[in-house]
Amino acid sequence: MKTGMGKRTMLLTLIVGFANFYSCTDKSGTENNLKIWYSQPAKIIENEKHNNEREWLKALPLGNGSLGLMVFGDVNRERIQLNEETMWSGSVTDSDNPDAYSALETIRNLLFEGKYREATELTNKTQICKGVGSKPFGPYGSFGTLGDLWIDNGKNSEYQNYHRELDLGDAVVRVSYTQDNVNYLREVFTSHPDQVMVARFTADKPGMISFTCKINRPERFTTHTENDQLVMHGALPDGKGGDGLRYMARLKAVNKKGSVSYTDSTLTVENADEVILFLSASTEYMLKYPVYKGRDYEKITANTIEKAAKESYKNLLKRHLNEYQPYFKRLSFDITKEPVGDVPTDERIKNFRETKSDPHLVELIFQYGRYLLIASSRPGSMPANLQGVWADGIRCPWNGDYHTDVNVEMNYWPAEVTNLSEMHLPLFDLIESLVGPGSKTAEVQYKNSGWVVHPITNLWGYTSPGESAGWGMHTGAGAWICQHIMEHYAFTGDTVFLKRMYPILKGSSEFYLDWLVEDPKTGKLVSGPAVSPENTFVAPDGSKSQISMGPSHDQQVIWNLFTDFLKASETLKVQDEFTQNIKVALGNLAGPKIGSDGRLMEWAEEFPEAEPGHRHISHMFAVHPGVQITVENTPDLAAAAKKSLDYRIANGGGHTGWSAAWLISQYARLQDGEKANANLATVLAKSTSPNLFGQHPPFQMDANFGATAGIAEMLLQSHAGLIHLLPALPAEWPSGEVKGLKARGGFEVDIKWEEGKLVSAHIYSEKANSTRIKYGDIEKEISLLSDEKYEFQIN
Ligand code: FUC
């Protein structure tokens, strides 16, 4: 026990032999608040304008990793908007710039000489990608909608008792209403085990289910009927004037009583007692450089739908629940004992804008982030993109791609700590797939070894810089995305995974070892020409520039990468000339600096910011998600970081959803629960749609994932070499309980608190392990045998 604990006593109880089932236990028993619900449908508006208030943002999302659905719930004309994760336009294209290398040294020298204007001009001329980069409708492509399923009952009579809900506890959308004295119920879910949409239509009187279905999309489709299926298919544009990926969706109905008939554009149900609609969809895409095509999408969609259609609804639901619930129910979070009440979710959000307080809404948004991650990122699927797996147009803002200069990383911040490690796996498949194209980019652009990715990537292995140097020269993206590798390992201890990813970590380290150059003034190693995403400074020559040598962000992500690489090498017992070279480079890397105003510096020199309230806080990577700056180990830098954050916010920072969400984690790491909570309130009040989708605006899912991760950081941290309980608890959550959070080292942690103070914590480890636990000024070393659980109490 640490000295200075005062008169408080700590009870430490060891419970031996707590078996394996602990980690799979359903922890959601205490929750009464897992429903998003409304008293009205999302409206059906033909050709609705793509704005931030659109009805689509009132529809309810379902997803199984690859399929994404948005259920509107209209009584007479149901719209289920459809997504398939690989519905990407575009095609493979060579964007690496062969003119880059010959100008690189000149640019670096100009920057070292303080000639920012010239350096920026030359960077824009020579370093950016060849071609049109990520510009709309080019080969970079975009994620987009698969289309819409319309279910028209041909009526327009009044209805009563309307209720529409998404239950996060079972991932089912339910729509119920009374029409012409008949009570109707629709239940919709997306099954991961069966790879289909299942939508059941029932009524409390026989023969009452009649409707006509169509499937369509804004462009490039035809429909036909085949073996009692309505089939939609086509090819997306390749961005070069031709056809790109081919896709297919199949719809089939299984009825009890009544009849089902098909034409080449419709599926009609008449007078059935009950109907189940099945939908399967796929494209020919494969995440495999350099081919990317080859999935037998016609056969896959045919087989899955036929197989599912043979099963009973009961079995399909059971299989869905058996797969979904063990993920979702690993964690529960309660911060109020008040009953949840009967205020629909859209009203709650409206009210929150006034009251800025609703603990139930906080619980819901936290669990919703977990739900959305399970729905958009299942093992074997593509990672969650800027919109998760949900898009309602043929082109998304920012192409709905993977932005690697914060956004895709933020999507995965909640994965480990909220006990959804498996959902992290698609990100590693993506990272692995970047090594091929990224090695080519490294070689062509910079004559470097290893692999690189710049601030954006897509389904086509795009790794070149963007089309403008101001944001496109984010050379730190590879190091940033690689941070996830050792994070996953730290939480899981999975050495098979580490062995698989080690060459990738090494390849990224090789790139940066070649990339770093000595700053002639300091002798330290610096990265450049590079941006601090996506901020602008006023250079000493008066120009507004983004390009410099050694921006703090790059220095920090490279520090993180080299540190992780050395840890991985040690774990796998690799010690050779290369590890030695990395060790030396790590020692020579320019580190974080505090400016004359006491703030953490964003660039190697004290440049004034052109936009002091900029939404990115890239130089704060070291605080979160990085670990280089901690309150415990580097208090001076932590204090400087806090000053930087406060200054950003005082100047209007945190104004996009993801940006405010990041601030939750930042302040949590700096152990300021009140400011963390204030930024959570900003996300809820300013950046949350009626269906709780995050808004940049426009809709962007990172705000959801960032908010969930931020709440977790407020409750538990384990990045500073110990498990810190309740490091940033705000006064607004005086009592509560969280069960099932994860800490590095593979620990599972339950925490209960009352009147702002810890009551007890349970720490469990499947493997024998030891750690230090911290609460307030109390610290304690504990050692656990495998499958043991400690109870940590304070009286
Ligand atoms: C980053 C941000 C933007 C936006 C885009 C998708 O580059 O700077 O605000 O979120 O990603």
Out of 134, 398, 454, 456, give the residue to mutate to test ligand 1, the one with the largest number of ligand atoms within 8 Å of its CB: 398
Six token digits for residue 661: 């969400």
From ligand 1's centre to the CA of 454, what distance in Å? 13
Residues with Cβ within 8 Å of 26's Cβ and at least 6 positions away in sequence, in order, are 325, 329
Ligand 1 site, residue 405, Cβ cutoff 6 A: yes
Question: What is the reported pLDDT for 47?
Answer: 85
- Residue 525 structure tokens: 């190693």
Q: Is the CB of 662 under 6 A from ligand 1?
A: no
Instruction: Give mean pLDDT, residues 366-394.
Output: 98
Residue 16 has pLDDT above 50, yes or no: no
Q: What is the DSSP letter of 530?
A: B
Q: What is the pLDDT of residues 746-792, one digit of tens each?
A: 999 999 999 999 999 999 999 999 999 999 999 999 999 999 999 99
Please give the Cα distance from 752 to 794 (Å, whole number): 11
Residue with tokens 């280089």: 628
534 CB within 6 A, ligand 1:
yes
Ligand 1: which of 696, 699, 701, 705 to mutate, most ligand atoms within 8 Å of CB? 696
Give DSSP secondary structure letters for 584-627: HHHHHB----B-TTSSBPSSSS-PPBSSTT-S--GGGTTTTT--
Question: Count of alpha carbons within 13 Å of 542, Cβ hemisphere only?
Answer: 0
pLDDT score for 795: 63
Of residues 110, 71, 717, 96, the one with CA closest to residue 416: 717
Are 679 and 667 contacting, i.e. CB atoms less than 8 angstroms apart?
yes
Give the Cα separation of 253 and 260 in Å (integer).
7
Residue 537: both structure tokens together: 């400074």
Token code pair at residue 165: 């809900």
pLDDT over threshold 70, residue 30? no
Token look-up 């300013």 returns 686
For the CA of 659, the nearest atom of ligand 1? 9
Which residues in 191-206 are b (16+ Cβ under 10 Å) and which e? bbebbbbbbbbbbeee
First to last CA, the chain: 15
Yes or no: say if 545 and 111 are a contact pair by the CB < 8 Å rule.
no
Q: Which amino acid is at 248?
A: M
Residue 418 has pLDDT above 60, yes or no: yes
Position 793 confidence tier, pLDDT thresholds 50, 70, 90: confident
Beta-bridge partner residues of 781:
772
Quick one: pLDDT at residue 10?
36
Q: How far is ligand 1, taken at its centre, from the CA of residue 473, in Å?
A: 14
Mutate to test the pocket of ligand 1, among 399, 615, 658, 687 (most ligand atoms within 8 A of CB): 658
Tell me the best of 404, 456, 534, 683 to mutate to test the pocket of ligand 1, counting ligand atoms within 8 Å of each CB and taking the most: 534
Measured from the CB, is residue 74 less than 6 Å from ligand 1? no
How many Å lie between the centroid of ligand 1 and the Cα of residue 374?
A: 23
pLDDT at 658 over 50: yes
Q: Verify whether ligand 1 is closer than 6 Å to residue 624 (CB atom).
A: no
CA distances from 599 to 604, 639, 652 (A): 13, 8, 17
Q: Are strands 159-167 and 172-179 parallel, antiparallel or unpaired?
A: antiparallel
Task: Give yes or no for a contact between 517 and 569, defined as CB atoms under 8 angstroms apart.
Answer: no
- CA 82 to chain centroid: 20
Q: Which two tokens stand for residue 216?
A: 């369509």
CA 635 to chain centre: 30
Does 396 sit in the ligand 1 pocket, CB within 6 Å? no
Least confident range from 44-58, 69-83, 181-195: namely: 44-58
Distance CA 15, CA 219 (A): 62
**How far is Cα 496 from Cα 423, in angstroms, rounded to an integer?**
17
Mean pLDDT, all residues of the chain: 95
How long a stretch of residues is the chain? 795
Residue 757, phi then psi, degrees to nearest 5: -125, 145
Residue 19 has pLDDT above 90, yes or no: no
Q: How far apart are CA 517 and CA 528, in angstroms?
A: 8
Rounded CA separation 236/247 (Å) = 8
Which of 14, 20, 684, 741 shows the shortest CA–CA distance to 349?
A: 684
Q: Which H or E run includes 465? A: none
Any atom of ligand 1 within 6 Å of the Cβ of 401: no
Say yes or no: CB of residue 407 within 6 Å of ligand 1: yes
CA pair distance 614, 536, nearest whole angstrom: 9
> What is the 701 CA–ligand 1 centroid distance (Å)?
12
344 CA → ligand 1 middle, Å? 31
Decide if 130 contacts 147 (C-beta within 8 A).
no
Q: Strand 147-152 relative to strand 209-216: parallel, antiparallel, unpaired?
A: antiparallel
Task: State CA 31 to chain mean position distance.
Answer: 24
DSSP secondary structure, 283-305, as one string: ESB---TTT-B---HHHHHHHHH
Residue closest to 690 by CA, chosen among 324, 64, 164: 164
Over residues 270-291, mean pLDDT: 98
Contact 556, 626 (CB under 8 A): yes
pLDDT average, residue stretch 383-405: 97
**Which pLDDT score, from 0 to 100, does residue 44 have?**
96
Tell me if 236 sits within 8 A of 245, measured CB to CB.
yes
The pLDDT of 37-66, averaged and rounded, is 95
Mutate to test the pocket of ligand 1, among 385, 407, 546, 617 (most ligand atoms within 8 A of CB): 407
**Mean pLDDT for the stretch of residues 605-627:** 97
Q: Which two tokens stand for residue 128?
A: 């950016």
Q: Is the CB of 386 under 6 A from ligand 1?
A: yes
C-alpha of residue 730 to centroid of ligand 1, in Å: 29
**Residue nearest (by alpha carbon) to ligand 1 atom 8:** 534
SS3 of residue 511 by DSSP: helix
What pLDDT, in 10s, does the model give residues 639-657? 999 999 999 999 999 999 9
Long-range interactions of 223-227: CB distance < 8 A, separation 24+? 223/264, 223/265, 224/264, 225/262, 225/263, 225/264, 227/302
| CB atoms near residue 616 (< 10 Å) | 23
Q: Compute the distance between CA of residue 67 and CA of residue 195 in angstroms, rounded to an integer.
A: 8
Residue with tokens 């992290």: 424
Which sign, positive or negative, has the C-alpha torsion 264, 60, 367, 177?
negative
Q: Find out whether the beta carbon of 656 lies less than 6 Å from any atom of ligand 1.
A: yes
Q: Which residues contact 36 (CB under 8 A, 6 or more apart)?
A: 60, 165, 166, 168, 345, 364, 368, 691, 692
CB of residue 703 inside a 6 A radius of ligand 1: no
Query: Quick check: CB of 696 below 6 Å from ligand 1?
Result: yes
CA of 446 relative to ligand 1 center, distance in Å: 26
Atom of ligand 1 nearest to the CA of 455: 7
**Could you read off the pLDDT of 667-698 as tens digits, one per residue?**
999 999 999 999 999 999 999 999 999 999 99
Instruction: Indicate if ligand 1 lies below 6 Å from the C-beta of 403.
Output: yes
Question: Has residue 606 got a pLDDT over 90?
Answer: yes
**Is the shortest distance between the CB of 618 and ligand 1 below 6 Å?**
no
- pLDDT digit string (tens) for 123-170? 999 999 999 999 999 999 999 999 999 999 999 999 999 999 999 999
Q: Residue 422 has which token pair?
A: 């498996």
Pairing type for strands 159-167 and 35-38 reads: antiparallel
Q: How far apart are CA 134 and CA 385, in angstroms?
A: 15
**Which atom of ligand 1 is least distant from the CA of 700?**
10
Residue 23: per-residue pLDDT? 38
Closest approach atom of ligand 1 to CA 407: 11
Distance 702 CA to ligand 1 centre (A): 10
pLDDT band at 521 (very low <50, low <70, confident <90, very high): very high
Q: What is the pTM assigned to this prediction?
A: 0.96
At 223 the pLDDT is 98
- Separation CA 39–CA 51 (nearest Å): 23
- Taking the centre of ligand 1 as the mean of its atom positions, its distance from the CA of residue 61, in whole angstroms, is 23
Ligand 1 center to residue 476 CA distance, Å?
16
Q: Compute CA 639 distance to the chain's CA centroid, rounded to the nearest angstrom.
A: 29
| Dist CA 58 CA 68 (whole Å) | 15
Token pair 């026989």 is found at 206
**Atom nearest to 656 CA in ligand 1:** 9
CA-closest candidate to residue 403, choices 452, 488, 484, 466: 466
**Mean pLDDT throughout 696-713?**
98
Q: Is the pLDDT confidence value at 8 over 50?
A: no
What is the predicted pLDDT for the residue at 13?
Answer: 34
pLDDT at res. 7: 30
What span, in angstroms and rounded, lies between the C-alpha atoms of 179 and 157?
7
Question: How many Cβ atoms are within 10 Å of 708's Cβ, its own excluded?
Answer: 28
The Cα–Cα gap between 631 and 231 comes to 58
Question: In the prediction, which pLDDT does 291 show?
Answer: 94
> Which of 692, 688, 687 shows the shortest CA–CA distance to 59?
692
Distance (Å) from CA 278 to ligand 1 centroid: 36
